Amino acid sequence: MDQAGIIRDLLVWLESHLDQPLSLDNVAAKAGYSKWHLQRMFKEVTDHAIGAYIRARRLSKAAVALRLTSRPILDIALQYRFDSQQTFTRAFKKQFNQTPAWYRRSADWNSFGLRPPIRLGDFTLPEAAFVTLPDIELIGQTQSYTCTLEQISFYRDEMRVHFWRQFLAETDRVPPVLYGLHRVRPSIEKEDEQEIFYTTAVPSDKLSQPLQSTQKVQLEAGEYVQFTYDGPRSNLQEFILLIYGTCMPTLQLTRRHGQDIERFYTHGGKKLSEPPKNIRCEYLIPIRSHTETPSV
């Protein structure tokens, strides 16, 4: 295998072991090279030092945990192999230019400091479009569930299908456009989990018949960054993680308060017996323009 292939495999392995001991000796043993040769090869292929890269990725993972859970800062620091909260705070402030406590409390989520994982080979960043939405009134249902950060990829697809089946149970036709509104907050009951509120909704004039147990839902006006997904339904969550983990920091965007929007385009006809395996979806994230001032 060529050097790029070796490092590509190593990067995948590193990403799933960031909360494990990753000394140079451990990583070199996994790669099957001396640590000196591995460091040189990693630098040649990625243009980054392996130790600095691992630390930046660990801090980025820790930043997500700070925003999406209420776990104590010390617990997060220890999970990502920092020996004390003080050591973690110093490293975090150096990368993010603010303390972990301030990062957690901030109303906006600034992507500054987040280090995307290195991807080698053929990789194209999803194209971003910047749109301004007016206030839109929908009819929908809001439901919630909790899960850990590690469970989110599996749970979100499963719960999305479950909620849509419930929402469309009373109609025999599928509207041509469906909206999924998504909001997250740290769980009140379990500090290592997040509570996810998911609203299934449609424009009121697109229903073939009225639905029970629905309420008016306001789609907030404002600026959004929009990405388009077209592919297997089961891969949508990985696409969303790619947007947050790579696109947002690469574009240096700041997420403001508000709901993420999933806008699905359907066949617009008679309801199928099973949910489609392939979907077309626009995913919109509320962002703050550079001219806006954060509310306090």
The string of pLDDT tens digits covering residues 256-286 is: 999 999 999 998 888 877 888 899 999 999 9
Tell whether 134 and 251 lie within a shared domain.
Answer: yes
The string of pLDDT tens digits covering residues 81-115 is: 999 999 999 999 999 999 999 999 999 999 999 99
For residues 176 and 153, the model is more confident at: 176
Tell whether 133 and 102 lie within a shared domain.
Answer: no
- Domain end: 56, 73, 106, which one? 106
Give the pLDDT confidence score for residue 2 in this predicted structure: 86
- Residue 231 domain-assigned? yes
Phi, psi for residue 141 in degrees, rounded to 5: -130, 140
- Residue 15 domain-assigned? yes
Instruction: Supply the CATH number for residue 77's domain.
Output: 1.10.10.60
- Residue 113 domain-assigned? no
Tell whether 167 and 31 lie within a shared domain.
Answer: no
- Residue 259 domain-assigned? yes
Of 31-45, 158-172, 178-192, which gets the smallest average pLDDT? 158-172
Tell whether 133 and 245 lie within a shared domain.
Answer: yes
Q: Which residues have a Cβ under 8 Å from the Cβ of 60 and sit 6 or more positions away?
A: 113, 114, 115, 116, 245
- Residue 166 domain-assigned? yes
For residue 16, pLDDT over 90 is answered with yes
Say if residues 120 and 7 touch (Cβ distance below 8 Å): yes
Give the pLDDT confidence score for residue 296 in this predicted structure: 42
Give the pLDDT confidence score for residue 220 in this predicted structure: 87
Query: In terms of Cα–Cα distance, which of 232, 245, 212, 224 is closest to 182?
Result: 224
The DSSP annotation for 224-276 comes to EEEEEEEEEGGGHHHHHHHIIIIIHHHHT-EE-SS-EEEEEE---SBPPSS--
- Residue 296 domain-assigned? no
Q: 292 falls in which pLDDT band (50, 70, 90)?
A: low
Tell whether 99 and 150 lie within a shared domain.
Answer: no
Residues of the chain above pLDDT 70, percent: 95
The string of pLDDT tens digits covering residues 141-155 is: 999 999 988 888 778
Instruction: Supply the CATH number for residue 260's domain.
Output: 3.20.80.10
Give the pLDDT confidence score for residue 290 in this predicted structure: 55
- Residue 53 domain-assigned? yes
Tell whether 71 and 153 lie within a shared domain.
Answer: no
Residue type for position 159: M
Total domains in the chain come to 2
- Residue 116 domain-assigned? no
Name, of 143-152, 160-169, 187-196, 280-289, the range with top average pLDDT: 280-289
Range of the domain at 19: 3-106
Mean pLDDT of the chain: 90
Q: Which two tokens stand for residue 275?
A: 């949910």
- Domain end: 49, 72, 106, which one? 106
Q: Distance between CA atoms of 81 and 88, rounded to whole angstroms?
A: 9
Tell whether 27 and 102 lie within a shared domain.
Answer: yes
Tell whether 167 and 231 lie within a shared domain.
Answer: yes
pTM: 0.91
Per-residue DSSP letter, 213? S
Q: Distance between CA atoms of 147 and 154, rounded to whole angstroms?
A: 10
